[in-house]
Structure 1
Amino acid sequence: MYKKRFLSAVLGMSLLVTQASVMAQAVSVNEVEQATQIVMDQKEEKGLYLVQKGEITEIDTTKHGTRILVGDYNNGIFFNLQPKVPVLDANTLSFKSQKDLKEGMEVTVIYPKNSPMALSQPPMSSSAVLVIINSPKNSIEVGYFDENLVNEANTLKLNIGENTVIKNIKGERRVFTADDIKNKNATVIYDVTTRSIPAQTTPLFVMILDNEKVASGELINENSERETEVTADYKVLREIATDLEYEINWDNENKQVTLTKGELEVTFKIGESTCSINNQVKILQQVNKLQAGSILVSEETAHLLK
């Protein structure tokens, strides 16, 4: 009897110790996961900017500035450039005017990662802070550089030289040094690098970006971005198609959009007063047109889709 009680007590104590150990491990793992998440969150907040690289496929001048489409209608972004947005030539390292931007140019547009983006196709942003005309001989890096002037990806380290041009996005007229770049977001233009990890370079040009975190981003209605209001007899095709649950496909080469739902297929071509419904052409009263990045169709057309 005594031996049974003794064994029961020993087993009970062992079970308690095991449970305590498991709980301690669980708490420890949980704390590690929380700490890791905090570190990841902190790291994510350091890089405050995104880039859109590509060809200018459309450009026009408005009373508010210059509007460019970088990329195509499927993967591009419309940028409404405010008049004060600088244009930098990565080849000559000189500033240009927005009037120097031409269709067919390869550019890099820098904008805050949390900036509002209009619900249009393609999406539209008025938050660009810098446009760079790309150079075939020089490279561009945008991101956060730490105390040692190493970027977050640990792929590039800056060694500031006597001939490195350093400016800030605010256009302040003063002498900037390497210390002004540390722990900052910046745009770097450079040429040769060492074959090391991270690669090291003496940059040609550094633009220190605004390091105040942009307010949380949101998708905004494209009407707020539109230069002119849609007239009563025109409707935004994307809004209609989305409400009626159509699948939308844009053909950039032919400048036309096709809506599909089940066995129904409707195609609209910009600049024409027709549409194709299951390959049957229908004459419309008004021309399909493109305005501020949105395809507009007549109210008559809107009723055809219902």
Structure 2
Amino acid sequence: MKKNLTKVMAMGMVMTILAGTTAFANDTMLIAANPNADKTIESVQAEAEASMYLTQNGTVASIEASETEGVSIVTMDNEMGGLRFAVASNTIIVDRATGSYVTVNELTEGMAVSVVYDMNSPMGMSLPPFLGNVAAVVANADAGSVTVGKFDKDLTDMKNMLQLNIGDETSIQNMQGSRIRLSAEDVKGQDALVFYDFTTRSIPAQTTPSFVLILGEQAAPAVSVPLRETAEANGFSVKWQGKAKPILLEKDGVSMQLMLDDATFKVNGVEDEAAFATELKDGVMFVSSEIFE
């Protein structure tokens, strides 16, 4: 829950930076705010229909600390007139070259980046325009192919341009930082940021992506929930082994261990800490909801 509250508070601080007149980043405002835009209104509309998310590519021109602690302002140059956007300490930044998460301190001037944002994000009317609400940033975006789209039940994007063949080595993540392994089923019907290298010469082109980030809302704050009821609703079996031994939850190769009166837990042997300790109340075991995210 601490991580989630930090994210919410940081975003709130980012939004306070927005001063003066703002607009939403819809098709008309994108063109109006960028007089040198190389996208037509029709092309932006088509992109919006395919996904709730828009992207802009460019190179980092500068990175400055804002008046809000923990927030940096990145200025990006591109053929659309550029963009300024806020990056909090916990904004999702993924390195295209390595597929790993990085921090704003690892962005450098001249680096190719791709910015992903909700089409309804408020955008300042300055030149270059200021965007406060950023879903994700891709560092070293020129290291390979990057796309954002909404993928249907066949994992084909809504423009019928790209079909995903999820492989064993594909890393699938979400905005919540899920601890449970995600699968191709979780990508279906979702907007996603995708890294890939090679495609077939077909329509749609097919590819095995190296990285998929499912875009969407941040996780809700953790709450205390009944363990057995919640676990079984999420497909887990629950095994009580006594007060001195861990409670064992299992599902599709995922093994989770919880200890009574302890906030720490393990997922496939990797230890983490929940917002609330596992506790027994009136004969019912309660646990922090975030362990099921």
Fold-level match, TM-score > 0.5?
yes
TM-score bracket for this pair, using the shorter chain length: 0.5 to 0.7
Counterpart of 2:214, as a letter, is I
Matched, 1:57 2:61: yes
Change (3 A) 1:68 1:89: same
Question: 1:302 — aligned with what?
Answer: none
Matched, 1:209 2:215: yes
Query: Which of 181, 185, 205 matches 1:179?
Result: 185
Change (3 A) 1:66 1:124: same
Unpaired runs of 5+ in structure 1? 1-40, 213-306
Matched, 1:124 2:130: yes
Q: State the Cα distance separating 1:61 from its structure 2 match.
A: 2.0
Unpaired runs of 5+ in structure 2? 1-44, 219-293
Question: 2:74 — aligned with what?
Answer: 68
Could you tell me whether the CA contact under 8 Å between 1:137 and 1:191 is conserved in 2? Answer: no
- Alpha-carbon distance in structure 2 between the residues aligned to 1:98 and 1:56: 11
SS of the equivalent of 1:94 reads coil
Q: State the Cα distance separating 1:187 from its structure 2 match.
A: 0.3
Counterpart of 1:50, as a letter, is L
Counterpart of 2:51, as a letter, is G
Q: Give CA deviations for 1:137-169 in whole Å, capped at 9, x if unaligned.
A: 420010101110001111100000000000001
SS of the equivalent of 2:101 reads strand
TM-score, with normalisation over the residues of structure 2? 0.55
Question: 1:83 — aligned with what?
Answer: 89
Change (3 A) 1:80 1:197: same
Matched, 1:194 2:200: yes
- Alpha-carbon distance in structure 2 between the residues aligned to 1:96 and 1:44: 28
Count of residue correspondences: 172
- The correspondence of residues 38-53 of structure 1 with structure 2, limited to 5 A, is 47-53=51-57
- The correspondence of residues 1-306 of structure 1 with structure 2, limited to 5 A, is 47-62=51-66, 63-71=69-77, 75-210=81-216
TM-score, with normalisation over the residues of structure 1? 0.53
Q: Which runs of 4+ in 1 moved over 6 A?
A: none
Q: Give CA deviations for 1:192-228 in whole Å, capped at 9, x if unaligned.
A: 111111110010000000069xxxxxxxxxxxxxxxx
- Alpha-carbon distance in structure 2 between the residues aligned to 1:183 and 1:134: 28
Q: State the Cα distance separating 1:83 from its structure 2 match.
A: 2.3
- Alpha-carbon distance in structure 2 between the residues aligned to 1:188 and 1:51: 12
- Alpha-carbon distance in structure 2 between the residues aligned to 1:76 and 1:98: 18
Could you tell me whether the CA contact under 8 Å between 1:56 and 1:102 is conserved in 2? Answer: yes
- Alpha-carbon distance in structure 2 between the residues aligned to 1:163 and 1:73: 35
Comparing 99-108 with 55-64, greater Cα deviation is found at 55-64
- Alpha-carbon distance in structure 2 between the residues aligned to 1:72 and 1:185: 24
What value does the CA root-mean-square deviation take over the aligned residues?
Answer: 2.3
- Alpha-carbon distance in structure 1 between the residues aligned to 2:167 and 2:208: 6
- Alpha-carbon distance in structure 2 between the residues aligned to 1:72 and 1:143: 21
Q: Could you say which structure has the larger radius of gyration?
A: 1
